[in-house]
Amino acid sequence: MRVVDIIRAWGRKPQPIRLDRSTTFQAKYFSFKELLAANTGLLDIIAELEEALQGRRVFGLAYVRTQAHRAVHHTLRMIHGLNYIGGRKYLSLMVVLDQIDKQIKALIEQPQSARAGALVLAYDGINKEMLDWVGGKSANLGEVHTALQIPIPEGFAITTLAFERFMANGDLVERVTNKLNGIDPTHPEKVAEVGAAIRELIMAAEVPAELQAALAQAASQLSSQCPQGVPLRLAMRSSAIGEDSELTFAGQYQSLLNVTEDQVIDAYRRIVASLYTDRALMYRLTKGIPEEHMAMGVACLQMVPSVASGVMYSRDPADPAKPDIIINAVWGLGPYAVDGIVAPDLYIVDRDSHRILTHHITTKAVQLIMGPAGGVTEAPVAPERQAGACLTRDQIMQLADWAVRLEQHYGTPQDIEWALAPDGRLVLLQARPLPLISLERVRTQQATARYNDYKVLADGGLVVCPGVGHGPAFHVESADDLMRIAQGAVLVAKHSSPRFVIAMAKVSAIVAEVGSITGHMASLAREFKVPTVLELKDAKTVIPNGVMITVDAFAGVVYEGRVEPLLALKPLETSVYRETTAYRTLRQVADLIIPLNLVDPKSSYFKPESCRTIHDIMRIVHEFCYKEMFQLSDLVSYREGAAVKLNMPLPIDLYLIDLGGGLELKEGARRKVKFNEVHSIPLKAVLKGMLHKDLCCPEPRPIELAGFFSVMREQMLAPPTRAERFGDRSYAIVSDKYLNFSSRVGYHYSILDSYCGESVSKNYITFSFKGGAADEVRRNRRVRAIARILERLDFAVEVKSDQVDARLLKYENATIEDKLEQIGRLLLYTRQMDMLMNSEASVETAAQSFLKENYRLQH
Amino acid sequence: MTTFSVLVIDDEEDFVTTLVNRLQKRKIEAQGVTSGEAALEALAKADFDVILLDIKMPGGMDGIETLREIRKRQPQAEVILLTGHASVETSIEGMNLGAYDYLLKPVKLEDLLVKIAAAYEKKSTQDKS
């Protein structure tokens, strides 16, 4: 009985287990899949950490702990998988992981005092450091209030300690844990069922007496400050920790408006219960976030019976380079400003000139107001006010001033909710990072033509540390020059050198004619965050000493003069988040996770004992696992699935392992199969794509010189084995309906996993592509081009730095086959794309060429 | 037709019942218990080829303690460890105590069955040699 038949047999009618050699093989194959899934999980975590390290978003120690926990969890999965496949040969990797794990734990262990504290806290004492105690929303509000003195409504924060007490009361936590045990993310209907049951448990649970008392006292204190005869009404908003939930789950957790004093306890339960919505549960399950890392704080703010309210963006999300501050306003309470019921007033303020650029007043016939018995209700706006402006000029300018201060403080554009009280006072209700389209995206949108007003002095450089720098060019010839360099100057040199480190705190940018992205100076530049461009041909000749220049270390270009639109992108460089304990801890923890020291599998250093980081372990496991998988042919007889080579005129060496029904293998020692002997439906589709006449044996095409050199340079500067690995094998594990295709070329690899059968609900394609030869800018462009192509092929696509993940679920097999054929073409096409990636415009050109089947990139 | 005996030890009763059921339907002699202590009783009464052991069992004996006892009493059995919370320490301990495999929940039942079959296969190969 073949492996796949056994799987099917178990899936359908129970049969007595039969044992043959393929049982072992099949068990190893499951471990292999497990290992690959863990590998994907780890790649995600690394990309997420790299993003968090940019300091553009808020997180607490709980986030750091969760990420570290996930990283160790997935690494362990990989190690166990490898040991299973390799017959316990790699147990020493566990000892290595244990050492790293201990170092990480020493960094993230929380001091006892952090958990101690109050159940309820006033905003006066809350700042950004307290995220773990009060959740993201409350920590931010406290920070705004204490650090910037921007008025917020009166109120209090319910802490995560209160949450712990609530969950620990009676046997609630056990009952919730019991429900969560055995929950399987592959069965969404079961997840929904469990979620509903847990929410029910929470809604029925008793709130501990001490918490009831603390809430009653806090509410009554607020109530005593209300004017005579005006009852206290609260806005209660979720403020979760345990992940970057405030960003991921914006709007997912419960927020309740106009809560009366006697509704507070019930509202608290409802908000806590919202931790267990189907969506939140699914997210945590699929991301491997432990439930015990979750906690819910609640922000309780006195309702402002707003005359008007709205939303303000400190930047235009579509074009943050512009000086615009965007303000929306409606009459009454805020929700109508965002949910499209009323077209809001629009005010646009120029942050530099303080002029109001747009003053667009709409007709606002209805408004949302506080209901007398709690909740909110719609009401008509008095006819004479309908077409009136919600804000006066002074009020607009006051809000704009907040936007500028908040952005400066947090170092990143802000999304702000505000309200105008009946006494004419403005208050801030919420401030959070504005999810900006990444700078690279912004750069794409700003056509290169935008900077054509400025003279380009040098172009085509290698970006080593992205950013923008402006100042007088300063030619460095000797060590003495380094001592004389002025604050804010741009260091211009022939060769890069680690000696430049002594000037790095002073200079606004570095450019050099020669240097490498992996060089010592390059890492120093990144550490000091100095925008740096290397490989700028004749830089010292074309950039005269003393001339004012702007270095665009996103595109690798140097302009003469001051390029304002570029410099406007600079505020993102500083961030108050970088000063938090959580950030500093993440920095240290990330150093045990992210750096890759084992780059050369052929080196004698490439062994378990040399691993210093999680990434090292991951790399070594990945390498060993393919070796082990391909030794599986020693275990199983030839007929049962040895690795065989595909005999086809393709520019890749493809080796195949059959799990059953995927290949037609005849008796004998033949180790090659032809196309017509491939029966695996998904593999056949991919191969069909690869066989496209313009891809499988392309004629030499004209090469853009700069592009060619970038690719060659990266290959030549890379450690020797990287160049050697250029011709590595690709592997495919197949059955009649299944394909797992993996291809690694140096740092560039792609994994394609697909099931393609009659059952629509089982069919899927997941495709992941990462890295590759060429410098970072080109890699990033390539990934974005791939993402565009996949999006237009209907895939759900996610891009993180130089990795793109795409997924397509539940389509008819004919459609899946069609998409696989396209991926087959794409796999070969990516090899030709690098040369083209010489400008931002090439991202779209490359995508378009593919979609128009112009694979040879002919103009 | 092959048949062999399996002991399932997990504090989660539903899981034990389902798995034991599935195994029995495939003509495997399967027995389930929900604690380390109960496992020791079962071990005293019968020999098992494959044992599936949950590491985290609140209350009495935990999985590692139970594994130590299994090693003393039935060293020939192949033990598959199962846990929802991976820890490096228990991984090292478990593997040092000769566990056959260490699986992280959630595991699909089908995958688990394959691992159980493969564990038995290994044991029977060793028995023969």
Per-residue model confidence (pLDDT) at position A761: 58
Q: Does residue A616 register a pLDDT over 70?
A: yes
- d(CA A185, CA B58) in angstroms, rounded, equals 24
Q: Which residues of A touch B5 (CB under 8 A)?
A: none
In a domain, A796, yes or no: yes
**Residue of B1, B111, B112, B113 to mutate, testing the A interface (most A Cβ within 10 Å of its Cβ):** B111
Please write the tens of the pLDDT for every residue from A654-685: 888 777 678 887 655 456 888 999 999 999 99
The answer to whether A171 faces chain B, any CB pair under 8 Å, is: no
- d(CA A721, CA A181) in angstroms, rounded, equals 46
A46: Cβ–Cβ under 8 A, 6 or more apart, which residues?
A: A71, A593, A594, A615
To the nearest whole angstrom, how far is the Cα of A677 from the nearest Cα of chain B?
29
- Segment B51-61 shows an average pLDDT of 88
Q: Spell out where B1-61 has E strands.
A: 5-9, 29-33, 50-54
Domain boundary among A524, A542, A562: A562
Q: Which of A608, A616, A627 is nearest to A85 (CA)?
A: A627
Per-residue model confidence (pLDDT) at position A590: 92
The answer to whether A99 faces chain B, any CB pair under 8 Å, is: no
- One domain for residues A407 and A298: no
Total of domains in chain A: 5
- Segment A486-503 shows an average pLDDT of 84
Q: Directed axis angle between helix A3-11 and helix A21-52, to 10°? A: 80
Pairwise CB contact (< 8 Å): A183 & B115: no
Tokens of A252: 């997912």
Per-residue model confidence (pLDDT) at position A306: 92
Tokens of A443: 């750069």
- One domain for residues A689 and A715: yes
Q: Which residues of B touch A88 (CB under 8 A)?
A: 95
A784 in Cβ contact with A843 (< 8 Å): yes
The answer to whether B127 faces chain A, any CB pair under 8 Å, is: no
Per-residue model confidence (pLDDT) at position A762: 62
Considering only the beta carbons, identify the residue of B26, B88, B108 that sits closest to A16.
B26
Mean pLDDT in chain A? 80
> β-strand A456-458 against A532-534: which pairing, if any?
unpaired
Pairwise CB contact (< 8 Å): A185 & B104: no
**Residue of A15, A30, A90, A186 to mutate, testing the B interface (most B Cβ within 10 Å of its Cβ):** A30
Query: Considering Cα of A478, then A479, then A480, then A483, what sign does the dihedral take?
Result: positive
Per-residue model confidence (pLDDT) at position A16: 52
To the nearest whole angstrom, how far is the Cα of B25 from the nearest Cα of chain A?
6
In a domain, A424, yes or no: yes
The nearest alpha carbon in chain A to B114 belongs to A27
| Residue A170 φ/ψ, nearest 5 degrees | 60, -140
In a domain, A446, yes or no: no
| Residue A641 backbone zone (phi > 0: left; psi -120 to 50: alpha; other: beta) | left
| Residue A78 φ/ψ, nearest 5 degrees | -65, -45
Higher per-residue pLDDT: A492 or A193: A492
The nearest alpha carbon in chain B to A16 belongs to B26
Per-residue model confidence (pLDDT) at position A614: 93
The answer to whether B26 faces chain A, any CB pair under 8 Å, is: yes
- One domain for residues A513 and A400: no
Per-residue model confidence (pLDDT) at position A788: 93
Tokens of A532: 């740096």
Pairwise CB contact (< 8 Å): B95 & A83: yes
Tokens of A440: 């690279």
- Segment A525-538 shows an average pLDDT of 81
The nearest alpha carbon in chain B to A99 belongs to B88
- One domain for residues A36 and A132: no
With pLDDT > 90 as the criterion, what percentage of chain A qualifies?
A: 32
The answer to whether A173 faces chain B, any CB pair under 8 Å, is: no
Question: What is the CATH classification number for the domain harbouring A398?
Answer: 3.30.470.20
Higher per-residue pLDDT: A479 or A753: A753
The answer to whether B85 faces chain A, any CB pair under 8 Å, is: yes
**Residue of A7, A10, A289 to mutate, testing the B interface (most B Cβ within 10 Å of its Cβ):** A10
| Residue A235 backbone zone (phi > 0: left; psi -120 to 50: alpha; other: beta) | beta
Q: Directed axis angle between helix A813-833 and helix A776-792, to 10°? A: 160
Q: A205: pLDDT confidence band, cut at 50, 70 and 90? A: very high
Per-residue model confidence (pLDDT) at position A193: 87
Place of tokens 């060019």: A473
- One domain for residues A63 and A145: no
Please write the tens of the pLDDT for every residue from A380-414: 999 999 999 999 999 999 999 999 999 888 877 88
A336 in Cβ contact with A311 (< 8 Å): no
- d(CA A342, CA A345) in angstroms, rounded, equals 9
- d(CA A495, CA A56) in angstroms, rounded, equals 33
In a domain, A437, yes or no: no
A19: Cβ–Cβ under 8 A, 6 or more apart, which residues?
A: B2, B117, B120, B121, B124
Pairwise CB contact (< 8 Å): A19 & B25: no
CB atoms within 10 A of CB A92: 13
Kindly list the strands in the beta sheet with A255-260, ordered across the sheet, starting from the edge strand earlier in the chain. A120-122, A155-158, A295-302, A233-241, A255-260
The answer to whether B125 faces chain A, any CB pair under 8 Å, is: no
To the nearest whole angstrom, how far is the Cα of A15 from the nearest Cα of chain B?
5
Cα A235 to chain center, whole Å?
A: 31
Question: What is the CATH classification number for the domain harbouring A479?
Answer: 3.50.30.10
In a domain, A583, yes or no: no
Cis peptide before A317 (omega within 30 of 0): no
Per-residue model confidence (pLDDT) at position A749: 74
- One domain for residues A664 and A784: yes
Q: Does residue A704 register a pLDDT over 50?
A: no
Q: A262: pLDDT confidence band, cut at 50, 70 and 90? A: very high
- One domain for residues A409 and A465: no
Q: Which residues of B touch A91 (CB under 8 A)?
A: 92, 95
Q: Which of A601, A564, A365, A613 is nearest to A453 (CA)?
A: A564
Place of tokens 């700003």: A446
Pairwise CB contact (< 8 Å): A181 & B12: yes
> Could you give the 3-state DSSP secondary structure of residue A754?
strand
Please write the tens of the pLDDT for every residue from A143-186: 999 889 999 999 999 999 999 999 998 888 888 888 887 676 66
Q: Which of A846, A793, A845 is nearest to A824 (CA)?
A: A793
Considering only the beta carbons, identify the residue of B26, B92, B122 that sits closest to A94.
B92
Tokens of A57: 């978003």
Query: Considering Cα of B107, then B111, then B112, then B113, what sign does the dihedral take?
Result: positive
- One domain for residues A52 and A161: no
The answer to whether B29 faces chain A, any CB pair under 8 Å, is: no
The answer to whether B56 faces chain A, any CB pair under 8 Å, is: no
To the nearest whole angstrom, how far is the Cα of B70 from the nearest Cα of chain A?
20
Angle at A748 between CA A747 and CA A753, to 5 degrees: 130
Considering only the beta carbons, identify the residue of A7, A16, A76 that sits closest to B27.
A16
> Could you give the 3-state DSSP secondary structure of residue A302?
strand
The nearest alpha carbon in chain B to A95 belongs to B92
Considering only the beta carbons, identify the residue of B1, B14, B114 that sits closest to A16.
B1
Considering only the beta carbons, identify the residue of A16, A30, A184 that sits closest to B114.
A30
The answer to whether A87 faces chain B, any CB pair under 8 Å, is: no
- One domain for residues A774 and A724: yes
Q: Which residues of A touch B90 (CB under 8 A)?
A: none
Angle at A349 between CA A347 and CA A355, to 5 degrees: 115
- Class of residue A405 by CB neighbours under 10 A (exposed 0-12, middle 13-18, buried 19+): middle
- d(CA A551, CA A536) in angstroms, rounded, equals 11
The nearest alpha carbon in chain B to A84 belongs to B101
Please write the tens of the pLDDT for every residue from A564-605: 877 876 544 445 566 677 888 898 899 899 887 776 777 888
Q: Does residue A499 register a pLDDT over 80?
A: no
Which of A7-16, A196-205, A277-286, A315-324 has the largest mean confidence? A196-205
The answer to whether B101 faces chain A, any CB pair under 8 Å, is: yes
- Segment A358-366 shows an average pLDDT of 91
Per-residue model confidence (pLDDT) at position A216: 94
Tokens of A659: 């799990």
In a domain, A275, yes or no: yes
Please write the tens of the pLDDT for every residue from A104-147: 998 887 654 444 478 999 998 888 788 888 988 898 899 999 88
Q: Which residues of B touch A24 (CB under 8 A)?
A: 118, 121-122
Q: Which residues of B touch A19 (CB under 8 A)?
A: 2, 117, 120-121, 124
Beta bridge partner(s), residue B5: B29
Query: What's the CATH class of domain B5-108?
Result: alpha beta
pTM: 0.55
Angle at B60 between CA B58 and CA B66, to 5 degrees: 100
| Low-confidence winner among A189-203, A310-324, A369-383, B77-91 (lowest mean pLDDT) | A310-324
The answer to whether B28 faces chain A, any CB pair under 8 Å, is: yes
- One domain for residues A280 and A351: no
Domain with A360 in it? 308-366+379-432
A128 in Cβ contact with A135 (< 8 Å): no
Higher per-residue pLDDT: A496 or A276: A276
- d(CA A411, CA A572) in angstroms, rounded, equals 5
A427 in Cβ contact with A334 (< 8 Å): no
- One domain for residues A137 and A191: yes
Instruction: State the amino acid at position A693 in one-letter form.
Output: K
Q: A817: pLDDT confidence band, cut at 50, 70 and 90? A: very high
The nearest alpha carbon in chain B to A185 belongs to B106
Per-residue model confidence (pLDDT) at position A579: 67
- One domain for residues A98 and A131: no
Q: Which of A490, A504, A619 is nearest to A551 (CA)?
A: A490
Q: Which residues of B touch A80 (CB under 8 A)?
A: 91, 101-104
In a domain, A584, yes or no: no
In a domain, A241, yes or no: yes
Higher per-residue pLDDT: A708 or A755: A755
| Low-confidence winner among A5-14, A208-217, A423-432, B18-27 (lowest mean pLDDT) | A5-14
